[in-house]
Amino acid sequence: MAAPVMDPKTAAVAAPTKLTMGKAINMGLRAAMERDPKVIVMGEDVGKMGGVYRITDGLQKDFGEHRVLDTPLAESGIVGTAVGLAIRGFRPVCEIQFEGFIFPAFDQINSQVAKLHYRTQGMLKVPMVIRVPFGGGVGAVEHHSESPESLFAHLPGIKVVSCANPVDAYWMIQQAIESDDPVLFFEPKRRYHEKAEIDFDATPYPLWRSRVVRQGTTATLAAYGPMVKTCLDAANAAAEDGNDLEVIDLRTLSPLDLDPVFESVRRTGHLVVVSEAPGEVSIASEIASRVQQECFYSLEAPVLKVTGFDTPYPPSKVEEEYLPDLDRVLDAVDRSLAW
């Protein structure tokens, strides 16, 4: 993907530029909209307000109300309208304000978004992106801190990705928009304000690929979204005790790219999968199953999971007891190495 040409009135593109993840997504959306007039942003409060988290701030002012649409509070209507736009040649980008509000649209996603291409034997394409702020750690009320990504990764015909840092956020949102397949784009909301330097002239990493973000030899940590930073923090803490942990950012949840995980586990012999989502019948479970199938003779201990608990997301005052943290990750590493 070529680097975007930015209008001087919108942003000065200096390489590298330090941005928050939220701003990186904003600029990624802006670059995609400048490149392709068929890209449309739509959702609740995405226009004049700029979104609850201000991710779409300024887009309606610069691109107009015909390309940045404030919709009614009706997720099924948002996604259903986007399906119609997509099969007519547009590339709609829907925002689901919070992940817990996506379920009114589940029927549209499962019955239409994921199946139209297959049902029409390839005659119709559905090039649309559904942005989903997800995960906890922000002190929110009920239905605002969930991690439902495993439900959507289970659906054939739809792709699911999650960014973990501002660099990936900037490039991945553009790559998802350019994809002819429908993409659910999960954004870790508690990482929106974390910063990193973005080189706008860099070659972006492929969208459907996992990536080793920290090399190590003692054990492997596999995570995605908000848990990548938690795993990196755990790896830094483990290094003080002489344990050299490798950290893999999965990035793509459907399709899963597990080749880097297999290669890592064949070297380290130990794997801990970390996710905020409940562990029962989950992405973490699928990773554990496939690693034990592909790397059975390399494993020196069972694959362990550190996940959210199998309960509804708790009230914010006790969410820190629910969310995987550095101590839970390190405890799992210790149990794996002691096997």
Q: What are phi and psi of 319, to 5 degrees?
A: -65, -25
Annotated catalytic residue, options 144, 154, 193, 270: 144
- Strand, coil or helix: 51: coil
> What ranges make up the beta strands (E) of the chain?
17-20, 39-43, 68-70, 91-95, 129-134, 159-162, 183-188, 195-198, 211-214, 219-223, 245-249, 252-254, 271-278, 304-308
Where are the alpha helices (H) located in 36-163, listed in sequence order? Answer: 59-63, 75-87, 106-108, 116-119, 149-153
Does the annotation mark 193 as catalytic?
no
Report the alpha-carbon distance of residue 301 to residue 57 in Å, rounded: 48
Report the alpha-carbon distance of residue 221 to residue 214 in Å, rounded: 10
Strands of the sheet containing 219-223, edge to edge, are: 211-214, 245-249, 219-223, 271-278, 304-308
- Strand, coil or helix: 231: helix
Q: In this structure, are residues 201 and 2 in contact, taking their beta carbons and an 8 Å threshold?
A: no
For the chain, the farthest-separated pair of C-alpha atoms sits apart, in whole angstroms, at 60
Would you tell me the crossing angle of helices 259-268 and 283-294 to the nearest 10 degrees? 60
- Catalytic sites, residue numbers: 144
